[in-house]
Structure 1
Amino acid sequence: MQSALDGVHRAGVPGVYAEVRDADRTWRGASGVADVTTGRPVTPDMRQRVGSITKTFTAAAIMQQVEQGRIRLDAPIGDYLPQLVPGERGRKITVRMLLNNTSGLPDYIRYAFPSLGEGSSKSLDDNRFRQFRPAELIKMGVDAPPAGEPGATPGVYSNTNYLLLGQLLERVTGTTAEEYITRNVIERAGLRRTGFPTGPRIGGPHSRMYEALWGGIDPPRDYSVYNMSWTGTGAALVSTMEDLNRFYGKLLDGRIVSRSSLAQMQRTVPVVALDGTLIDYGLGLHKVGTRGCGTFWGHDGTVWGAGTISLTRADGKRQMSVAVNLQRWNKPDSSGKPQHHPIDEALKTLQRQAMCGEADARENPTSPPASSGPDLS
């Protein structure tokens, strides 16, 4: 494992750290630096902005409300939030479609960060301390051209869906979604270092987070200080690799939601991720198959400068959570297509090692990466 971590660092990631669990054994490791200026090293216990892994927490909170009868999975979202999704779309799009990304609502990020379409970081810098309201971001997605018909597959991954789910939680619980998720998901799982940020800074030991924007920012710029209102219940959580493994272990063991709710979460459909790949997506959960190592469940996610993946084998006995402090390292070729980078292969080797162990990693060196790839979620 340490050799695989070192390989990711040598390939160009400033810092990488991980926790891997195999039955009752736990391994933690790190390689590289948390700050390229001072040389401060990364450590396995650092806090990280975990991006779209937040979606599993939000989905679990929704399923708890389904169990209590306050939300119906196949009810139209217009029954709950007619002001946010009005008219025919509100009547056609169900809560389940929001959870599994088959609503047809496009992602709002390209509209909140318009310079990204030109390969410019201007929007990232302009929005660093901006306080977005969920309703204004949702409106960007709802008003944009549809990504597909409600319920059609493959679905299209969209952060708009999960901001709506956050507003749905507020509607039915009478408290903020962040407060509900903290009390009923984070605390129920016994997570001590996981939470929604209350300002632009991360509390506790953490790495700087370097964004390359596909070569548009050279050298990569630190975005660890950032107002996360642009993503909220879709991707704002801060956590540790230890906490993520604990959370997914308890979720898949039926201790966060009921077994019947978990079965609903594990009903997958094909969904096009933001990087264009096709993934098996349930209700806030990815399904990841391997050659000979079993089926894994979890999520990955990125925000500006930070990438994380957390996967747990279906039997709960093998887990891995990995964090890196560099994102969007693939520079485009002359046609605009992101080029392969040594980091891609090094991460694939690391993930395979973490999921399958040394022997299986040697036997299956060309297995596909577990992650759905760098996205903007």
Structure 2
Amino acid sequence: MDIKKMTLKQLKQKYNALIGSKNYNEIIEVCTQIIQLDPNNAEDFYNRGTAYANLKQSEKAIQDYNKVIELEPNNAEAFNNRGSAYTDLKQFGKAIQDYNKAIESNSKYAKAFYNRGVTYANLKQFGKAIQDYNKAIELEPNDAKAFNNRGSAYTDLKQFGKAIQDYNKAIESNSKYAKAFYNRGIAYGALGEEEEAIQDFKEAQKLDPSIIAKEQIKALEKEFEEKIQQTQDSNEEVQGFQTILEDLKEEHQTEEGDWFKWSKGAVGITLGLIVLALVLVSCGFLESGDTYIVYIFSSIVTFTIIRQYTNAKALRIEASNRVAMAKMFERVKHENNDYQTEFLPKLVDTIVYSTTKEKNNADGLVEKIINGLTKLKK
């Protein structure tokens, strides 16, 4: 029978028949039809949200849990499930806020403590994670997952003895818990107890032949995520480095433009003095020998300014090179030793050469000009 033609009672019966099955798409379809007929029943939104969550459609699940919370502001299960959806989306801050709300609504809600512990562990806040697992175990003393996860938190803190005790408890609560055997094997291996580790790995493999592969995949995924994060951080560093260079370039261009204006002014004044001296000589007010003194004086003034300009430019280049070198050293330290050995000497040589070259171009400028003018007079 077409569900769109069913009555509300028939739809409810249809939903009840689907409880416990994994026909999540059909459950969603039935719940959607129920909601159209009865749009203010929080339970129907909750049921559809749970089906969406099982299908890993977390955004849609959150929308339904939002509606449940709107209709029932103290619904601890809705807060907890919305927190789980946020956790799946790696929005851990929002997830923790929802678990807090769930615990405020129901202080005996072990699952909310457990889920918040998982979220803290994802944030590498293992101390807080352990506190939440403690509470979950206090409320549900036979929760194998809570023992296993607390053991994992202790493993991350390198407290392998405590970790093994928790894995033992998890296995006592669930003797078929492959992941607990696998994790205990890791802890034994870290303590150098290889025989015990091998036995646990074999037992885990026997209980779940895919367990080793699953954990290796998780490890690879974690390593991949860390490499992506490192790449993103490096890209941000490079972008920041490029911004610094662009700012330096603009600043240098402005300063060089100002110096160039002053230099042109100095040259103009010098030419003016020379022309004035020639006019005074032609009018008899100065002797020809006096013009040489004016010429020398004005030339020294002009080229002193030019020398200051070139020295200032060299210093600015050196400053920007030092900034570049610092940023490049920061970037290179993340690379392997061979790359560092090959790259760093070239980087240093290039910077020293560029700085020395700029300085050498300015050294002895005024002295060379005076010597040249003296030779010219002779």
Q: Normalization by structure 1: what TM-score?
A: 0.21
More helix per residue: 2
Structure number with higher relative contact order (C-alpha < 8 Å, ≥ 6 residues apart): 1
Q: Normalization by structure 2: what TM-score?
A: 0.21
More strand per residue: 1
**Structure label with greater radius of gyration:** 2
